[in-house]
Chain A
Amino acid sequence: MPQLNLVLRHRDIPGLHELAVYQTNGGYAQLRRAVTELTPEAVIDIVKASGLRGRGGAGFPTGLKWSFVPKGPGQKYIVVNNDESEPGTFKDHEIMLRNPHQLIEGAAIAAYAVGASAVYIYSRGEFWKSAQSFDRAIAEARAAGLLGQRLFGTDYNLEVYTSLGAGAYICGEETALLSSLQGDLGQPRLKPPFPAVAGLYARPTVVNNTETLANVPLILERGADWYKGIGTEKSPGTKVCCVSGHVERPGNYEIPLGTPFKELLAMAGGVWKGRRLKAMMPAGASSPATPGEQCMDLLLDWESMAAAGSTLGSASFIIMDETTDMVWVAMKTSQFFKHESCGKCSPCREGTFWLTKVYGRLNAGSGTTEDVALVGEIIEQIRDKCFCPLGEFALSAPRSTMAKFPEDYRRAVGTVENGAQQDG
Chain B
Amino acid sequence: MTDLLQQRFGSEIQAAFARYPAGREKSAALPLLYLAQAAYGHLSTEAIEEVAQLIGSDSTHVRGLAGFYSLFLEQPHGGFVVQYCNDLPCALRGSEDFLPVLEEKLGCKAGATSADGLFTLECVMCLAACDRAPMAQINLDYVYDLNPESLDLLVTELRAKAASDPERRAPFGFGPPSEMK
- Residue numbers of A with Cβ under 8 A of B are 75, 84-90, 92-93, 118, 124-129, 132, 161-169, 180-186, 201, 242-246, 250-252, 285, 318-320, 324, 329, 332-333, 336, 339-340, 342
Count contacts between A and B, CB distance < 8 Å: 142
Bound-complex Cα distance A93 to B130 (A): 12
Q: Is the CB of A333 within 8 A of B30?
A: no
Bound-complex Cα distance A376 to B26 (A): 43
Q: Is the CB of A329 within 8 A of B21?
A: no
Instruction: Count residues of chain B with CB under 8 A from any CB of chain A.
Output: 44
The stretch of B67-75, B98-106, B110-118, B158-166 in contact with A is B67-75
Bound-complex Cα distance A251 to B124 (A): 21
21 A-B pairs with CB atoms under 8 Å apart are: A87-B87, A87-B88, A87-B89, A87-B126, A90-B129, A118-B21, A125-B34, A126-B127, A127-B128, A163-B31, A165-B69, A166-B30, A166-B70, A168-B69, A201-B24, A242-B131, A246-B92, A329-B88, A336-B88, A336-B126, A340-B125
Bound-complex Cα distance A75 to B68 (A): 30
B140 within 8 A of A: yes
Q: Knowing A88-B89, A125-B71, A166-B72 are in contact, say whether A180-B128 is a contact too (CB < 8 A).
A: no
Q: Is the CB of A245 within 8 A of B92?
A: yes
Q: Which residues of A contact B89 (CB under 8 A)?
A: 87-88, 244-245, 318
Q: Which residues of A contact B26 (CB under 8 A)?
A: 182-184
B residues 125-148 with Cβ under 8 Å of A? 125-133, 137, 140-142
Q: Which residues of A contact B64 (CB under 8 A)?
A: 185
Cβ-closest chain B residue relative to A92: B128
Cβ-closest chain B residue relative to A333: B88
Q: Knowing A129-B177, A185-B64 are in contact, say whether A166-B133 is a contact too (CB < 8 A).
A: no
Q: Which residues of B contact A163 (CB under 8 A)?
A: 19, 27, 30-31
Q: Is the CB of B88 within 8 A of A88?
A: yes
Q: Is the CB of A318 within 8 A of B131?
A: no
Q: Which residues of B contact A339 (CB under 8 A)?
A: 125
B170 within 8 A of A: no
